[in-house]
Chains A and B, each alone.
Chain A
Amino acid sequence: MYQIGNLVKELSDEHGHARESLMPILQAIVQKHNYLTDEAMVEVARVLDISAAEVYGTASFYTFLDTQEKGKYVIRVCKTITCSMKGKSDIIHVIEEMLKIKVGETTSDKQFSLIETNCIGWCHKAPAILINELPYTELTPEKVSEIIKDYMQK
């Protein structure tokens, strides 16, 4: 859990108070805190003067606007056909072993979440993952293990 504080006000000053400002505001909260708390969504609703149901309804439509608690680093492993053909399961296996979590889970120190995602547009360099917004491509079990190790030391 995080405290939303003045963030929504700051974001609405930047992006505006119209309905079209909703996505940029929710995206900015997720960029900072990795997911949306109920408190955050209620505050967004209050500031934009729309119902909390509208905010939740919009957020829950988009997979990147998580409404469940997520770790500081969200690892998204592409599971679509080419990545699947080129060894996505091995990549997931390595990450699961290193972080001691399964797909869909978050580590107890809230540092990492591991999820599968649909095509991220790196089929020619499969298998590929996103860690937050950064893509990592042409992965091998060794390569992904180095990458995760680096993140664990951050």
Chain B
Amino acid sequence: MENKGLTKVDLIFEQIDNHEVLAKGFNMSKEDIIQEMLDSGLKGRGGAGFPTGMKWKFTAAEKNPEKYIVCNADEGEPGTFKDREILDRVSNKVHGGMAIAGKAIGAKKGIVYLRGEYRYLLPKLMIELESFHKMIKEIGYDFQIEYRMGSGAYICGEESALFESIEGKRGEPRNKPPYPTVSGVFEKPTSINNVETLVTAMMIIQHGAKNFIQYGTKDSRGSKVFSVSGDTPTPGIFELELGMTVQQFVNEFGDGDTKAVQVGGASGFCVPRKKFAETIIGFEGVPTGGSMKLFNSSRSMYNVLHNYLDFFAEESCGQCTPCRVGCQQLLKGVEKVKKGEAKSTYLNELMKLADTMKIAAKCGLGQSVGNAFKSIVGNFKEEIIY
């Protein structure tokens, strides 16, 4: 596997001449924009990693004249806070990325769904949006963006739950198919992209796919913003080239006593010290929406797991049984084992339950609870039992 080492870059937060990049983008044909995205190999930065060019291509192919670009700013994954920073510092690039995406798929409307916890940003964003609208009008391009607020539900980061919420309903995920590219918000073809993905798309238009693919690896192109927290002397937001190992990451950000790194938040994977050197951060190893939490040897991994399970039990929308009941049973199960009310072999039953949830849960929330559960229990069994 390729290993690029740890390199800091500064592209996402770089201030650019938005007017110039947009004029360039609007002058390209929609086929050319989509081809540029496909050539760049850009994968979605929210965590799931769906190729952005494909998403735009599918949405562009729909015949419906009314289409939407939705910007997913419902950043709720524990340990992720990069989208807030991006919106705070370079919202013009987010809005610009939406307009470029709009051109590519044939949408005239964009909606930003911003999590309720970030409402304090809204007054500033409204002012910046107004000048953005003014600017694209000057260029002679018709595209309107509006903001919708969330109200404290993690599940609304799931794309179809987010659409339900925009439509004024409970944020319960829909059955798929149909996928959003066919039937998204208001049942219209929709491309829903993460905040950082849209900024990266702007960057690709600006510098070209050829330059973009010089960063990262074959499976994980480009650079990405990481949210670093936990037991580290330097918590914060860092843009790094993709393709480093967890060991290289820990060498940079660890406190010298790191025993585990949770990559990708509560729905991600726990990497123990013995696997640091062999694990690549990216789609060929452990994928992440940016959340990187470091734990040193003073931390109980039981407490970490318990905290995550408590989080999922509260944030499960309750619609499907595998997730609603599964989250609660996993939580109760580890508590029982810890208290000695159940034998340690009960953990094997719980591992099977986590597998069942992965197959049977309706959406990404229930399907990914097992990631953290299995990687923490699998690597730190003694800490869970004793």
Chain A: residues with CB nearer than 8 A to chain B?
18-24, 26-27, 30, 57-58, 61-65, 79-82, 84-85, 117-126, 130, 133-135
Which of B100-108, B174-182, B307-315 lines the interface with chain A? B307-315
Does A64 contact B116, Cβ atoms closer than 8 Å? yes
Does B168 contact A19, Cβ atoms closer than 8 Å? yes
A82 to B314, CA, bound (A): 17
A122 to B235, CA, bound (A): 10
Does B78 contact A118, Cβ atoms closer than 8 Å? yes
**Which residues from B are CB-within-8-Å of A20?**
166-168, 186
Whether a CB of chain A sits under 8 angstroms from the CB of B119 is: yes
Minimum CB–CB distance from A32 to chain B (whole Å) comes to: 14
Per-residue A-contact encoding for B171-207, CB less than 8 Å = 1, 0 else: 1100000000000001000000000000000000000
**Which residues from B are CB-within-8-Å of A85?**
230-231, 299
Per-residue A-contact encoding for B134-162, CB less than 8 Å = 1, 0 else: 00000000000000111111100000000
What 9 additional pairs, Cβ within 8 angstroms, besides A58-B168, A85-B299, A124-B227? A19-B168, A22-B169, A24-B148, A64-B150, A80-B266, A81-B293, A84-B307, A123-B235, A124-B235
Minimum CB–CB distance from B181 to chain A (whole Å) comes to: 21
**Which residues from A are CB-within-8-Å of B84?**
121
Whether a CB of chain A sits under 8 angstroms from the CB of B129 is: no
Within 8 A of A (CB), among B71-110: 75-81, 84
**Which residues from B are CB-within-8-Å of A119?**
76-79, 154, 311
A39 to B75, CA, bound (A): 33
Whether a CB of chain A sits under 8 angstroms from the CB of B165 is: yes
Does A121 contact B153, Cβ atoms closer than 8 Å? no
Whether a CB of chain A sits under 8 angstroms from the CB of B62 is: no
Minimum CB–CB distance from B276 to chain A (whole Å) comes to: 20
Does A23 contact B149, Cβ atoms closer than 8 Å? yes
Whether a CB of chain A sits under 8 angstroms from the CB of B26 is: no
Does B152 contact A63, Cβ atoms closer than 8 Å? yes
CB < 8 Å: which of B148, B230, B266 contacts A23?
Answer: B148
Question: Known: A82-B79, A123-B81. Is A57-B151 also a contact (CB below 8 A)?
Answer: no
Does B168 contact A118, Cβ atoms closer than 8 Å? no
Does B151 contact A81, Cβ atoms closer than 8 Å? no
**Which residues from A are CB-within-8-Å of B339?**
none
Q: Which residue of chain A has its CB nearest to the CB of B294?
A: A82
**Which residues from A are CB-within-8-Å of B149?**
23-24, 27
Q: Which residue of chain B has its CB nearest to the CB of A62?
A: B151
**Which residues from A are CB-within-8-Å of B239?**
none
